[in-house]
């Protein structure tokens, strides 16, 4: 009965963004370079690990003392949208366990609509985020139940009421999750809903470069990437040249440049967005937060420049703290001040 009620809520409520992604619980731990070297993971990238390997990594820490939150790239982005006051929905697969219950409660507490049937016999996915003193993050992802998200989990009624869908690039590492992504894209096009897609990680661009170009040239209305991903995608080295090259195919482009800000491409114009000076503590979720700021802005009446300005400040705030979720969300007054540009 409760689930039926939640389903009716998701159908009847309109959303700014309906996001599809891996449902993971992020577990953050600060580590030194020596431990990272002993664990033998490449620093600064995301590595997929199995249940046993993840358990071995987490055995180095006192888990109850670590910070955790509902995560995954797309989940972080809709959490940001909700923090700004937007309406967001998320679909991703969780396990029938305490970690899955935590995931649901954490996102729902923010006001995110999420209606998923837990999967029996598979653990909820986790992402161990190992943060070194230089603020770099090395992510070890155990997909668990999230890898079994399927096309059948995509809700057309919820998509039809959204302004944008947001597709996480990580979904393209698995056949079932890729099918879910393409189903969401198909239903968005059918219902005249705009499509945003994020490259997610340089390794993914290197793995499916041609497929990403097909998406950019085809259904995608807004493409998110960082400088490294853009360089890998285009084969160019100048950020502006990269953005222009992608904009030849993509109607809208949002490319982050780390501390140097970002570039938005819209209507044939390049819109430079300034960086915000901050002492970096943890870069986890900076791109997700930026995407959340842009998507909130463009679906709530802000200009592209205003949206980029808000997104830049949001990304800086999240970099200046531990974890991908804002410890101190922006107030309505702060949002108004930041968008008065």
State the CB neighbour count (10 A cutoff) for residue 274. 13
Indicate if the pLDDT at residue 63 is higher than 90: no
Q: What pLDDT sits at residue 1?
A: 31
pLDDT for 66 equals: 82
CB count, 10 Å around CB of 89?
29
State residue 12's pLDDT score.
52
pLDDT of 3: 36
Give pLDDT tens digits for 31-43: 999 999 999 998 9
Query: Residue 5: pLDDT above 50?
Result: no
- 12's tokens: 């009847």
Structure confidence at residue 256 (pLDDT): 96
* Average of per-residue pLDDT across 237-260: 95
Length of the chain: 341
Q: Which fold has domain 15-22+72-122+146-339?
A: 3.40.1190
Q: Which residues of 118-150 are buried (b: 16+ CB within 10 A; e: fewer)?
A: bbeebbbbbbbbbbbeebbbbbbbbbbbbbbbe
With a cut of 90, say whether residue 85 has pLDDT above it: yes
pTM above 0.85, yes or no: yes
Alpha carbon 29 to chain centroid, angstroms? 20
What pLDDT was estimated at residue 185?
98
pLDDT band at 10 (very low <50, low <70, confident <90, very high): very low
The domains of the chain are located at 15-22+72-122+146-339
What is the rounded average pLDDT of the residues 302-321? 93
> In this structure, are strands 125-131 and 137-142 parallel, antiparallel, or unpaired?
antiparallel
pLDDT tens-digit profile of 102-156?
Answer: 999 999 999 999 988 899 988 899 999 898 989 888 989 899 999 999 999 999 9
Average pLDDT over residues 4-13: 44
Q: What angle do CA 32, 38, 173 make, to 5 degrees?
A: 95
């Amino acid at each position: 009965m409760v689930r039926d009620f939640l389903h009716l809520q998701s159908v009847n409520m309109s959303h700014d963004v309906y996001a599809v992604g891996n449902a993971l619980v992020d577990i953050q731990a600060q580590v030194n370079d020596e431990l990272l070297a002993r664990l033998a993971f490449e620093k600064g990238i995301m590595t997929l690990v199995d249940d046993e390997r993840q358990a071995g990594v987490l055995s180095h820490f006192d888990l109850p003392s670590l910070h955790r939150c509902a995560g995954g790239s797309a989940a972080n982005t809709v959490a940001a949208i909700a923090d700004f006051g937007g309406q967001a929905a998320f679909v991703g697969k969780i396990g029938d366990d305490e970690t899955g219950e935590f995931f649901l409660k954490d996102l729902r507490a923010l006001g995110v609509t999420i209606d998923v049937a837990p999967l029996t016999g598979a653990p909820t996915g986790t992402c161990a985020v190992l943060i070194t003193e230089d603020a770099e993050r090395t992510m070890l992802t155990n997909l668990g139940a999230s890898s079994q998200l399927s096309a059948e989990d995509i809700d057309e009624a919820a998509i039809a009421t959204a302004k944008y869908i947001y597709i996480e690039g990580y979904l393209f590492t698995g056949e079932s999750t890729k099918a879910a992504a393409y189903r969401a894209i198909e239903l968005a096009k059918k219902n005249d809903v705009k499509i945003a897609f994020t490259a997610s990680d340089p390794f993914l661009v290197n793995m499916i470069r041609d497929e990403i170009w097909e998406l950019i040239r085809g259904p995608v209305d807004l493409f998110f990437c960082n400088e490294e991903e853009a360089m890998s995608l285009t084969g160019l080295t100048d950020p502006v040249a990269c953005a222009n090259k992608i904009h030849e195919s993509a109607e809208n482009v949002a490319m982050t440049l780390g501390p140097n800000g970002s570039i938005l491409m819209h209507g044939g114009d390049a819109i430079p967005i300034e960086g915000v000076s901050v002492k970096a503590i943890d870069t986890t979720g900076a791109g997700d937060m930026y995407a959340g700021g842009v998507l909130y802005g463009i679906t709530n009446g802000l200009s592209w420049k205003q949206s980029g300005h808000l997104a830049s400040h949001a990304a800086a705030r999240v970099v200046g703290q531990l974890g991908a979720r804002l410890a101190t969300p922006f107030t309505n007054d702060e949002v108004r001040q930041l968008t008065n540009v």
